[in-house]
């Protein structure tokens, strides 16, 4: 998975996560904003990584 934060992107602050599909995750409260083609398992793993960092 690849995590990208675009500093000039719109609110709320979020990370774009790319892999097999993509998702956007709010980095403040860890809510999944969108999930496109990414498995639930991979999204949970991405949330865990964001929470760690």
Cα separations (Å) of 5 from 34, 37, 53?
Answer: 15, 20, 13
What's residue 32's pLDDT? Answer: 98
pLDDT band at 49 (very low <50, low <70, confident <90, very high): very high
Work out the average pLDDT over 37-41.
Answer: 97
Work out the average pLDDT over 6-28.
Answer: 96
What's residue 3's pLDDT? Answer: 98
What's residue 12's pLDDT? Answer: 95
| pTM metric for this prediction | 0.90
Give the C-alpha separation, 7 to 43, whole Å. Answer: 22
Work out the average pLDDT over 24-52.
Answer: 97
């Amino acid at each position: 998975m690849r995590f990208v934060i675009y500093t000039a992107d719109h609110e709320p602050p979020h990370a774009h996560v790319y892999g097999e599909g993509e998702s956007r995750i709010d980095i403040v409260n860890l809510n999944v904003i969108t999930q496109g083609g990414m498995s639930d398992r991979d999204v949970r793993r991405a949330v865990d990584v964001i929470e760690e960092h």
